[in-house]
Amino acid sequence: MTRRVQITKGILWFITGLAAAVTIIRFTRGLGTTTALSDTTPWGLWVGFDVMGGVALAAGGFVIGAIAHVFKRDKYHHAVRPAILTALLGYAAVAVGLLFDLGLPWNIWHALIFWNPQSPLFEVAWCVMIYLTILFLEFLPVFLERTRFQALYRILLRMQLPLIILGISVSTLHQSSLGTLLLIMPFRLHPLWYTPHLPELFFVSAICLGLSMVIFESSVTAWLYKRKPNTDMLSGLARFAAGALALYLAFRLFDLWHHDKIGLAFEGSFEARLFWFEMGLSTIVPLVLFLIPKVRRSHTGVFIASSMGLMGFLLYRIDASGLAQVWATRTDYFPMWTEFAVSFGIVSFFALIYLFIQEHFPVEHEILDEEEKWRQRQLFVLPRFDRLTQVWLGDPTFASRRVYSLVFVVALVLGLTSTPWQPLVEASPVQRARGGDILKVGFPIGTVAFPHAEHVKRLGKEACGTCHHLHLPGDVGTPCSECHSDLYLPTRLFDHYRHVGLLGGNPSCERCHPQEGPRVGTTAKKCSSCHEKDMMAENQVVKTFEYLTAPGLSQAAHGICIECHKREATNPEWGKPDLFRCATCHRTPVSHGDVVLEASLEEIEDEVLQ
């Protein structure tokens, strides 16, 4: 067990721990609390990265299967088992990711019995289920190789070629159907991405991504376990990758040219820049790198090129399922950290399983044998002691397990303490809620017309206190927004900083708080003990200022207005039976967003004042 492996596993366990914390909150508080998803952005990072990206990352399995078994390139046989393992775990990760993303994950099995063959997602779901089974059967021999189930092992080996061909066919279907998913959204997806050939593009890009992933992963495992990289195989794969990338580039550009959309790429818009960034990262730069023979033979070279391709094609999936739709939806969605934690946590968890299987099963024969010898030798190595406490930590494997557990638990606690427990709410600050005639408040309620003069005339000056709670010094009528500063959210009523400043800083604490005991809001004096003169008439709603939070303006105003309106609607003196209807006050048209036409507002004010 090298230090490298230990540190890598430690980091992976940490991310898994964070994800575990988010998992608890996701399944107890719902999607609203753990994601920034909204009605304008129903699909976010979990679909773009975990599902769309995950399926494509696992494409290495069928590509290498085709190269090694169908085209009979024997030198790639070494890559088959790791690639199939990646695919198997990748698809399992997709399934787990789906459980997080689905609103009703316990209904996931409905895809088995409720069929809608018209739906691309139905096809993807079935192909993924079938392919997961095929991958399991393809990989089962690795588990069985050194057991006593040799009969089953031989049967599975004989079935390998048909399984691989079946796997390739099924993969072709669902890799392309991921593109079909987006064909229904011509009005969301930017034309640089939307094309009737999305299925084909997704298929070719899956091959590119699969090859990049195989190269990336064998370089990483070689680095991690300090093995000698199989340069011959890697450079061969790099050649395949170059071919696939060239095909993808040609296809994508031809498609744009064919549909007369190439001009959009030079518009200088956000989408155009995103397009070139994505193309550069995914295709152009890796293609150039892979075409240089020197780079292809160098371990670092293929690693850099393949990781760029990897990120680039993941970006392609994320663009198509999200970023390239922003131009239509105008959403300001950005994933919350909890979404990142789950996405990376699933990857980390399955990476740990990958490493475990790599270490304990003959995924790569010769290497496992060597490591087995090393492990045997380790048994005779001197026991390790913790440097600080001088406590014996057990044998190296056991000692590192303890470290991992600790890291996991720390991350779990960290995650639980820093995760939000309440759903995200958009603040809707009240723009002008003075006791004037027009209240400008948030969407969709719009602007409220309030005939102040009429109320004063009718109810008389004594009645001010029915609505007005307080008079601040030097203020004629305190605006509602002084306390109810948000339309829906409860807000803090008491400005502590202001009081501290006005009363002269720290030495003045005792003017409100008790000398002994906790100095918190509940133990402080009532506001009225100082602000006696600021109180209004007898019939005031709030007589003592004992509330620390004010409800949202909507709730507060509705409480006051509607009750009175309901009462007065039946009053024959007014003859206004519709007084309690929403439209009586909520009638001024406001715009889409926050721009309110000032002209129309003035007109309304005039009308109201008359």
Structure-token pair, residue 326: 């922003």
CB of 310 to other proteins, least distance (A): 18
DSSP 448: E
Contact 46, 347 (CB under 8 A): no
Q: In whole angstroms, how close is the CB of 255 to other proteins at the nearest point?
A: 13
Structure-block tokens of residue 391: 């406590």
Q: CB 502 → other proteins: shortest distance, Å?
A: 32
Both tokens assigned to 75: 């030198």
For 177, 198, 288, 574, the CA distances from 184, given in Å and listed in that order, are: 12, 11, 34, 55
Comparing CB distances to other proteins, the nearer of 293 and 589 is 589
Positive or negative torsion for Cα 512, 518, 521, 523: negative
Q: Given the complex with other proteins, which of 251 and 340 has the nearer CB atom?
A: 251
Distance CA 112, CA 130 (A): 11
| Min CB(38)–other proteins separation in Å | 3
Short-list 562, 28, 41, 24, CA closest to 325: 41
Which of 96/198 has CB closer to other proteins?
198
Closest C-alpha to 359, from 341, 346, 378:
378
- Return d(Cα 337, Cα 266) in angstroms, integer: 34
Q: What is the largest CA-CA distance in the chain?
A: 101
Please give the Cα distance from 370 to 262 (Å, whole number): 54
CB 175 within 8 A of CB 56: yes
The residue among 208 and 470 lying less far from other proteins, judged by its C-beta, is 208
Provide the minimum distance between the beta carbon of 104 and other proteins in the complex, in angstroms, as a whole number.
Answer: 4
Residue 363 CB, shortest distance to other proteins, in Å, is 24
Comparing CB distances to other proteins, the nearer of 186 and 263 is: 186
Residue 439: helix, strand or coil by DSSP? Answer: strand
**Residue whose entry in the numeric block shows the structure tokens 């005339």:** 457
Q: Give the shortest CB-430-to-other proteins separation in angstroms.
A: 14
| Shortest Å distance, C-beta 30 to other proteins | 4
What's the min distance (Å) between Cβ of 172 and other proteins? 5
Query: What backbone phi and psi angles, to 5 degrees, belong to 495?
Result: -90, 95
The Cα–Cα gap between 513 and 28 comes to 39
Closest distance of CB 526 from other proteins, Å: 29
Residue 353 or 564: which CB sits closer to other proteins? 564
Nearer to other proteins, 211 or 222 (CB): 211
Q: Name which of 244 and 470 has its Cβ closer to other proteins.
A: 244
Return the H-helix or E-strand segment holding 533: none
Neighbours of 339 (CB within 10 A): 23
CB 447 within 8 A of CB 601: yes
